Amino acid sequence: MEKPTHHIFVCSSFRASGEVKGKCSKKGSSDLIPYIEGEILDRGLDALLTSTGCMKQCDNGPVMVIYPENLWYGNVTSEEIVDEILDALEDGDKASEYILE
């Protein structure tokens, strides 16, 4: 089985009931998913994108997490911020301004 180099998770605020309810979704996280998928393809990143349930960081949403780097980003509210994060990932760095500590 081939495994991706990076696994990117974007909170889509799914609750146990399947209901989409939470701050990340209300702040547009789901709208960013097609953009992120497109950027992964355009950049040729070996990355898998997964939409998730609440990651318990609601006040910092939308939340985006990248493994295996264990980078937790908050306030990912625009395509420009996604670009900064992916630029940093390509450079082996992190977009410090949006890192959740």
Cis previous bond, 34, omega within 30: no
Tell me how far, at minimum, the Cβ of 55 lies from ligand FES, in Å. 4
Q: Which is nearer to ligand FES, 61 or 89 (CB)?
A: 61
The token duo for 57 is 């960081």
Residue nearest to ligand FES (CB): 22
Footprint of ligand FES on this chain (CB under 6 A)? 11, 13, 22-24, 54-58, 61, 63
Among 78, 71, 73, smallest CA distance to 28 is for: 78
Q: Which is nearer to ligand FES, 15 or 41 (CB)?
A: 15
Q: Which is nearer to ligand FES, 1 or 16 (CB)?
A: 16
